[in-house]
Amino acid sequence: MSTASPSPAAPYRIPSSLALAARQFPRHRLALVGFVCLLAICLAAALAPWVAPYDPVQIKLGSKLKPPSWEHWLGTDHFGRDVFSRLIWGGRTSLSVGALVVAFAFTIGVPLGLASGYFGGRVDNLLMRLVDAFLTFPPLLLAVALVGLLGPDIQNVMLAIGLVQAPILARVVRGSTLAVREDVYVTAARALGARPTRIVLSHILRNVMSPIVVQLTVVFAAAVIAEASLSFLGFGTQPPQPSWGRDMSEARRFLADAPWMFMAPTGIIMLCVLSINFLGDGLRDALDPRAWRTRRRLADGEG
Amino acid sequence: MGRYIARRLIQVPLVLVVVSLMTFLITRATPGDPVQIMLGMQTSKEAAEAMRKEFNLDRSLPEQYVLWLGKVVSGDLGRSIRLNDPVTTLLAERLPVSLQLAAAGMAFALLVSIPLGVAAALRRNSWIDYLCTGYTVAGFAIPNFGLALILIYVFSIRLDWLPITGIGTAEQLSGGVWTYVKPFIIPAIALGTLQTAILTRLLRSSMIDVLSQDYMRTARAKGLMPATVVVVHALKNAMIPFVTMAAIQFGYMIGIQVTIEYIFAVPGMGSAVLNAVVNRDFPVIQGFTLVIAAFFLFANILADLLYALLDPRIRY
């Protein structure tokens, strides 16, 4: 229930921080645009069988390498397959890898980061050195190596990218945990005799949730690009399944004859990542009460 | 300072041992037998056994790792199972190529980010500032291989100005300056654009920060030329975080070249690792990842040292 306009009789209720953030979010116009674009891409991918005008894998050699037209909005590829339909179906892979990586990074990274930040000492030292070791591998090369060794399969792609992203998230969570660990409410909870698990789960986690949410948008964007890169190198989705990265790799052979073949996937990846980044910026502002005040002050001062 | 450097340098071998142990375990825990891939299915049992023995693959895992580590300490990274060459020979071929490509990408990033970041900070909310924001936002979103394809399409196919292959070839190295530089241009832009975005954004914000400091007003008040104020007083201070970030990013660049190497047929480190992974060439995977990780670690230490060198307030 919204408490935006309480009737005079109703007692005033303090809106929850989530409700406040939800009200704040649409003020960031680019973030709203990003959210709408991302939602549209997700819906199109989810409803691919109904939205895509053509079968993404059916070969029609009679209409190969056709430029964009009313029939084929983004042209056709070297097998006469509709590029637009392949984009829509390809979104399924990219977005589901993105979502799975986010879930994986969250399940691994958040507990590790919380434990490292809250308990400190030897646990912290051990975990962070492990994170350091992971971060000395170049992310893409590590993912390529893992997928190459495990076999090109969507679960392995997800696992490889997730293993790269989870340590980064763990480090962010650790930093934020360190910052709130000594806050008064944590000391108060400890003084009241709360057990560490309770302190971490119900006091600290709530207060480090906003950097986590923002970092998860970064993870999602990184996962989309990483999946495309892996598929581009031949280590991800295998043909004839549609995939943004794989289709770009195929398009290399037809750069001169069919530039739409590489431009369409490049464009959709950019749109997707831009949307996620704007969404992340908006969330960062909406979840940080200090940013609201600054913005209002700026608006008052300049407006 | 000396003690700090010493402590950081002592940590390097420790981290490398962890990294190599992880690589070792990952390669051994995943399916795929290098000997079988090398010899094919029809090979005799004896030949396979002999080869296993030759590469110590018949020993227990702890033994294999310790033997490998012992040789590494004396500078021997073993031999490639696939190519039968020493891994160090392969490295001597591949590393210079990768370093040149990374340097080219970094050179592009510096050439663009310094003027763009400074101009955007000096003229906030002007067209150049919007150009800077647009460039950084786009630079973060475009995958480098997508950008590479766009650049190839425009500059080599449509305009026919620049070649798309030729890095690491004999002709490139023996020709003049232009023959040497030409094949690097498109790969450098594609590779360096993300770094350009990161560095431009950083320089813009640190310039804005420095420009609002009191000493800037003092410098202007005592009648210094605007150019002197900007370059000597503002840029010099704003460069401190910039140089650090540039060093860290350079450390990354060898590892993120894979896609660029793949498109432009560059015989670099990334494509070597790619092939080694496909063939389960364990010594190559282990040797190359070790070198890439070491490069990254040293770039990070260099970044910290530069930070202390440029900013006298920092004491380690």
- Write out pLDDT tens, residues A226-275: 999 999 988 888 877 888 988 898 888 888 888 888 999 999 999 999 99
Q: Which of B30, B141, B256 lies at the smallest CB-CB distance from A138?
A: B256
- pLDDT for the residue numbered A291: 62
A41 by DSSP, 3-state: which? helix
CA distances from B276 to A148, B83, B281 (A): 9, 10, 5
The stretch B89-108 carries a mean pLDDT of 92
For residue B96, say if its preceding peptide bond is cis, omega within 30 degrees of 0: no
Alpha-carbon gap: B222 to the closest alpha carbon of chain A (Å): 31
- pLDDT for the residue numbered B316: 60
Q: Which two tokens mark B134?
A: 């647009």
In this predicted structure, the answer to whether residue B166 has a pLDDT above a threshold of 80 is no
In this predicted structure, the answer to whether residue A104 has a pLDDT above a threshold of 90 is yes
Are B252 and A138 inside 8 Å of each other by CB?
Answer: yes
Are B142 and A233 inside 8 Å of each other by CB?
Answer: no
- pLDDT for the residue numbered A296: 53
Hey, what amino acid is at B133? T
Residue A99 forms part of a structural domain: yes
Which residues span the domain enclosing A168? 91-291
> What's the gap between Cα A261 and its chain centre?
25
Residue A269 forms part of a structural domain: yes
Most confident range, picked from A282-286, A288-292, B31-35: A282-286
Give chain B's mean pLDDT.
85
In this predicted structure, the answer to whether residue B191 has a pLDDT above a threshold of 50 is yes
The stretch B90-112 carries a mean pLDDT of 92
- pLDDT for the residue numbered B230: 81
In this predicted structure, the answer to whether residue A9 has a pLDDT above a threshold of 70 is no
Residue A285 forms part of a structural domain: yes
Say yes or no: A257 contacts chain B, CB-CB below 8 A.
no
Say yes or no: A160 contacts chain B, CB-CB below 8 A.
no
- pLDDT for the residue numbered B150: 93
Q: Which two tokens mark B226?
A: 């605007």
In this predicted structure, the answer to whether residue B2 has a pLDDT above a threshold of 80 is no
Residue A58 forms part of a structural domain: no
Cβ contacts of A160 on chain B, cutoff 8 Å: none
- pLDDT for the residue numbered A294: 55
Number of domains, chain A:
1
Are B255 and A259 inside 8 Å of each other by CB?
Answer: no
- For B26, the closest chain A residue by CA position comes to A146
Give chain A's mean pLDDT.
84
Q: How confident is the model at residue A303 (pLDDT cuts 50, 70, 90)?
A: very low
Q: How far apart are CA A106 and CA A225, in angstroms?
A: 19
Cβ contacts of B145 on chain A, cutoff 8 Å: 229, 232, 248
Q: Which of A133, A151, A252 lies at the smallest CB-CB distance from B15?
A: A133
Residue A30 forms part of a structural domain: no
Q: How far apart are CA A270 and CA B145, in angstroms?
A: 12
Give the torsion sign (CA, A270, A273, A276, A280): negative
In this predicted structure, the answer to whether residue A1 has a pLDDT above a threshold of 70 is no
In this predicted structure, the answer to whether residue A214 has a pLDDT above a threshold of 60 is yes
- pLDDT for the residue numbered A5: 54
Say yes or no: A139 contacts chain B, CB-CB below 8 A.
yes
Are A149 and B262 inside 8 Å of each other by CB?
Answer: no
Stated as kind and residue range, the H or E segment containing B219 is helix B214-221
Q: How confident is the model at residue A162 (pLDDT cuts 50, 70, 90)?
A: very high
- pLDDT for the residue numbered B113: 94
- pLDDT for the residue numbered A220: 94
Q: Which of B142, B258, B297 lies at the smallest CB-CB distance from A270?
A: B142
Residue A80 forms part of a structural domain: no
In this predicted structure, the answer to whether residue B123 has a pLDDT above a threshold of 80 is yes
Residue A8 burial (10 A CB sphere; 0-12, 13-18, 19+): exposed
In this predicted structure, the answer to whether residue B131 has a pLDDT above a threshold of 70 is yes
The stretch B81-103 carries a mean pLDDT of 89
The stretch B175-197 carries a mean pLDDT of 87
- pLDDT for the residue numbered B125: 86
Residue A15 forms part of a structural domain: no
Per mean pLDDT, which range of A290-299, B117-126, B169-178 is the poorest? A290-299
In this predicted structure, the answer to whether residue B250 has a pLDDT above a threshold of 70 is yes
Tokens 């696939």 locate to B82
Hey, what amino acid is at B197? A
- For A252, the closest chain B residue by CA position comes to B149
CATH classification of the domain holding A209: 1.10.3720.10
* A/B interface, count of CB pairs below 8 Å: 119
Alpha-carbon gap: A141 to the closest alpha carbon of chain B (Å): 6
Are B256 and A141 inside 8 Å of each other by CB?
Answer: yes
- pLDDT for the residue numbered A302: 40
Q: How far apart are CA A245 and CA A265, in angstroms?
A: 7
Say yes or no: A251 contacts chain B, CB-CB below 8 A.
yes
- pLDDT for the residue numbered B314: 67
ipTM value for the complex: 0.84
Residue pair B152/B161 in contact (Cβ under 8 Å)? The answer is no
In this predicted structure, the answer to whether residue A25 has a pLDDT above a threshold of 60 is yes
Residue A72 forms part of a structural domain: no
In this predicted structure, the answer to whether residue A38 has a pLDDT above a threshold of 80 is yes
